[in-house]
């Protein structure tokens, strides 16, 4: 059964209305990743010329394979932590390159730090030399385990630099400081998005990459135990990818968002146990739920204040969790079911005990 990615692209196009990227040349680092590849799809469909850089550390060539024939798309396999120069003039740089799964924090902490410091600095320099705009995709993890929930952009965070999430959280915080420095010292046109948990088709479920949603879907469809960490009362606010990409592109495109830092996420909070039950219901699975220790420093609540995104970007999340989950399950069944699974290093026992 083929899975039609165009439905997502068309939904985003529709919601972007007449925001135009026509004739712009745009560099996307991490463009073969989950969100990066959707960004490439939408921008090519909006008439931009896209240069995608990815070292395929966690991104997949298959995420952008369908774009390779387009004259509007170019793929460069390169680690953005190493400098690279361009002869063509760029209009916008989107720095998305970074591993983002908590399982990866343990295995690749230095890579993660480099992608958000050296890699980001290379992107900032490219933007500066091209007099281009830059969008940095930061994260809700800059708030750590927040003591203020719902969390507004003005909250400074509660982060353990030495803990298992320190490499990611501090890398992204340092990234935000870099962006601010380039804005202040060089007058660069910068925008920073704090992305809250986003999910959907193309999100990896294999090996060490799986986040809660793809893992639960994968487990449910294989009638394996659903691995809930802690008692499942910790919360996240899940954003479907079409909403996320729309928010990011509004932030990138709107002149009035220059220099701004904006939370982009759904403000509907869900416990992880509710999530596990919803996945069971939607897949019709008979899997049991089993409980494992909560990893160290796992944030207990995560929910954004999205007033700024609403007012500044005219954006709000549109896709309810059930609908986004159903679409993710459809994709999973069409694209992945029956493929061999590489699970080493991703077992719940490994992660929770080491955490």
DSSP 157-213: -B--TTSTTHHHHHHHHHHHHHHHHHHHHH---EEEEEE--EE-TT---STT---HH
- 150 vs 295 by CB, closer to ligand UDP: 295
Q: DSSP for 51-89?
A: EEEE--SSS-GGGTGGGTT-TTEEEEE--TTS----SS-
Residues 282-311 that bind ligand UDP (CB under 6 A): 295, 298
Binder among 94, 253, 272, 313 for ligand UDP (CB under 6 A): 272
- What is the per-residue binding string for ligand UDP in 183-202, x denoting contact by CB under 6 A? --------------x-----
CB neighbours of residue 337 within 10 Å:
12
Kindly state the smallest distance separating residue 99's Cβ from ligand UDP, in Å. 11
105, 108, 209, 229: residue in contact with ligand UDP (rule CB under 6 A)? 229
215 binds ligand UDP (CB under 6 A): yes
Report how far residue 48's alpha carbon sits from residue 65's, in angstroms, rounded to the nearest whole number.
18
User: Residue 314, exposed/middle/buried by CB under 10 A (0-12, 13-18, 19+)?
Assistant: exposed
For ligand UDP, the binding residues in 119-178 under the rule CB under 6 A are none
- Nearest to ligand UDP of 212, 241 (CB atom): 212
The binder of ligand UDP chosen from 51, 179, 228, 257 (CB under 6 A) = 228
Is residue 168 flagged as an active site residue?
yes
Single out the catalytic residue among 143, 168, 178, 240: 168
User: Nearest 5 degrees, angle CA 102-CA 12-CA 221?
Assistant: 45
At its nearest, how many Å lie between ligand UDP and the CB of residue 111?
A: 17
Q: What residues have CB less than 8 Å from 224, skipping those under 6 apart?
A: 218, 287
Question: Closest residue to ligand UDP, Cβ-based?
Answer: 211
- Choose among 115, 129, 141, 140: nearest CA to 33: 115
Which residue, 318 or 343, is less far from ligand UDP as judged by CB? 343
Exactly one of 26, 50, 212, 245 binds ligand UDP (CB under 6 A); that residue is: 212
Q: Is the peptide bond before 192 cis (omega within 30 degrees of 0)?
A: no
Binding site for ligand UDP (CB under 6 A): 102, 197, 211-212, 215, 227-229, 234, 236, 272, 295, 298, 348
Active site residues: 168
């Amino acid at each position: 059964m083929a899975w039609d990615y165009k439905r997502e692209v068309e939904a985003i196009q529709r919601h972007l209305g007449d925001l135009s990227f026509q004739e712009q040349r745009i560099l996307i680092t991490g463009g073969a990743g989950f969100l990066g590849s959707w960004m490439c799809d939408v921008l090519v469909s909006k008439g931009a010329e896209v240069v995608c850089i990815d070292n395929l550390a966690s991104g997949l060539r298959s995420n952008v394979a369908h774009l390779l024939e387009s004259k509007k798309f170019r793929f460069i396999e390169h680690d953005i932590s190493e400098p690279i120069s361009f002869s063509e003039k760029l209009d916008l740089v989107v720095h998305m390159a970074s591993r983002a799964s908590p399982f990866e924090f343990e295995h690749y902490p230095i890579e993660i730090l480099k992608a958000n410091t050296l890699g980001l600095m290379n992107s900032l320099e490219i933007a500066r030399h091209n007099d281009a705009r830059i969008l940095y995709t930061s994260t809700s993890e800059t708030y750590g385990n927040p003591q203020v929930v719902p969390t507004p952009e003005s909250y400074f965070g509660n982060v353990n630099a030495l803990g298992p999430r320190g490499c990611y959280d501090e890398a992204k915080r340092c990234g935000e400081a870099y962006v601010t420095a380039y804005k202040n010292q060089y007058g660069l046109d910068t925008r920073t998005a704090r992305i809250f948990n986003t999910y959907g088709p193309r999100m990896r479920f294999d090996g060490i990459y799986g986040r809660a949603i793809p893992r639960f879907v994968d487990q449910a469809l294989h009638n394996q135990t659903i691995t809930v960490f802690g008692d499942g009362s910790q919360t996240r606010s899940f954003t479907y990818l079409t909403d996320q990409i729309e928010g990011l592109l509004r932030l990138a495109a709107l002149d009035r968002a220059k220099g701004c830092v904006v939370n982009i996420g759904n403000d509907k909070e869900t416990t992880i146990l509710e999530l596990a039950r919803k996945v069971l219901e939607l897949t019709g699975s008979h899997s049991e739920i089993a409980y494992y220790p909560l990893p160290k420093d796992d944030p207990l609540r995560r929910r954004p204040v999205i007033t700024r995104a609403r007012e500044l970007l005219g954006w709000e999340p549109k896709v309810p969790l059930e609908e986004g989950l159903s679409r993710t399950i459809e994709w999973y069944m069409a694209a992945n079911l029956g493929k061999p699974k590489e699970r080493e290093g991703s077992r719940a026992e490994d992660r929770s005990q080491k955490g």
